[in-house]
Amino acid sequence: MRFLDEYRDAKLAAHYAGKIRSIATKPWTIMEICGGQTHSIVKYGIESLLPEGLTLVHGPGCPVCVTPLEMIDRAIAIAERPEVIFTSFGDMLRVPGSKKDLLTVKANGGSVQIVYSPLDAVRLAREFPEKEVVFFAVGFETTAPANAMAIVEARRLRLNNFSVLCSHVIVPPAVEAILSSPEHSIRGLLAAGHVCTVMGYHEYIPIASRYRIPIVVTGFEPVDILQGIFMTVKQLEEERAEVENQYSRAVRQEGNIPAQELMREVFEITDRTWRGIGEIPRSGLRLRESFSDLDAERRFPVADIHSQEPAECVAGMVLRGIKRPYECPAFAVRCTPEHPLGAPMVSSEGSCAAYFQYGRVRHEEHA
């Protein structure tokens, strides 16, 4: 496949792995922010190519993982209503709520449908005017523009049976929350290439200088990640703390301006609870007042649903890079993709699921 195979090339990968080994003099710890990167790292066995002592920790960039339990429970309550067609991206369906997940709602007769685009949900609302179609709008700055577009489209079509359950989050405040906590040992960051495709990377420049930490905007293929790690290690060895762009084939400093404008038209910044991490100020997006008639939380009586996370799941520490998935006592024992205790075991981007699927050999070797 063009534009992908080039970045999965064994020779190029070996080249960057060699360069990393030749310049790394200290046991650096680097966090990759995005779950897509985590998955590539584990799927392609990238850690086995890195020098001893260089540690990758996995960040909070899995939209499914950080969606708060409360929001899942609200989604389930809405999906169970007989008049509702509840639409969602596929991997949200298996995320455990307090008592069940959306797949169980579907099995019990609820109308829960996987969509590939939020515009499919708008189409359903037109096709079934007698039903209430609700779209679960989750994700980072990557999914927000398309979701905003669906909301604008629904307004243009004057659909009064379409609404969104909005649990959008944004990356930079979460990064700051992690870096300002005293527990972390992170010395470099791989910023999420796709988020930066939309937002650019100017937001990271003050973070890099405030926390004295190199940040490299990095893609998702194995060669991208190895090159991103190399650029980060090089900065660390040269005692620099700058924002650099490895993913220059997709990311510009200013990002995608029309997409940002669309997001601003529909959403505004709000405080948001991150599953496993807690509330982070100004880290979420909610619908602006002018679109509040499309807000499912206002349309359905779910505001009273409040939920507590199971105590055994250490998802929060995994998402902040303090613990690795296999350091959780429940990992692969009481917590598996079939019976997840926490969301990182569910999503294909969750680090627990990535380790469960691909990485068990390695952690046994380390143990």
Partner 1 sequence: MKNMPDHRKNAVLDFSCPTPLSSYERILLAHGSGGTMTHRLIRDIFLKAFRNDHLALQHDGAVVGALAGRLAFSTDSYVVHPIIFPGGTIGDLAVNGTVNDLAMCGARPLYLSASFIIEEGLEVSELCAVVDSMRTAAAAAGVTIVTGDTKVVDRGKGDKIFITTSGIGVIPEGITIDPRSARVGDKILVSGTIADHGIAVMSVREGLEFETAIRSDTVPLNGLVEEILKASSDVHVMRDPTRGGLATTLNEIAEQSNVGILIRQNAIPLDPAVSSACEILGFDPLYVANEGKLVAFVAPHDADHVLDAMKRHPFGKNASIIGEVTAESDQGVVMESSVGGRRIVGMLSGEQLPRIC
Q: How many CB atoms are located within 10 Å of the residue 52 CB? A: 8
Identity of the residue, 214 or 222, whose beta carbon is nearer to partner 1 in the bound complex: 222
Burial class, 55, CB count within 10 angstroms (exposed 0-12 / middle 13-18 / buried 19+): middle
Q: From the CB of 46, what's the least distance to partner 1, in Å?
A: 5
Supply the Cα-derived Rg of the chain in whole angstroms: 21
The length of the chain, given as a count of residues: 367
Residues of this chain that bind partner 1 (CB under 8 A): 1, 4, 8-10, 13-14, 36, 42-49, 63-64, 89-94, 114, 116, 138-140, 142-143, 194, 222-223, 226, 336-338, 347-349, 356-361
Q: Are the C-beta atoms of 275 and 265 separated by less than 8 Å?
A: no
Smallest CA-to-CA distance from 275 within 320, 306, 316 is with: 316
Q: Are the C-beta atoms of 232 and 197 separated by less than 8 Å?
A: no
Q: How many CB atoms are located within 10 Å of the residue 244 CB? A: 20
Identity of the residue, 8 or 323, whose beta carbon is nearer to partner 1 in the bound complex: 8
Identity of the residue, 126 or 298, whose beta carbon is nearer to partner 1 in the bound complex: 126
For 26, the 3-state DSSP assignment is coil
Identity of the residue, 5 or 183, whose beta carbon is nearer to partner 1 in the bound complex: 5
Q: From the CB of 224, what's the least distance to partner 1, in Å?
A: 11
Identity of the residue, 70 or 349, whose beta carbon is nearer to partner 1 in the bound complex: 349
Torsional sign, CA 356, 76, 138, 132: positive
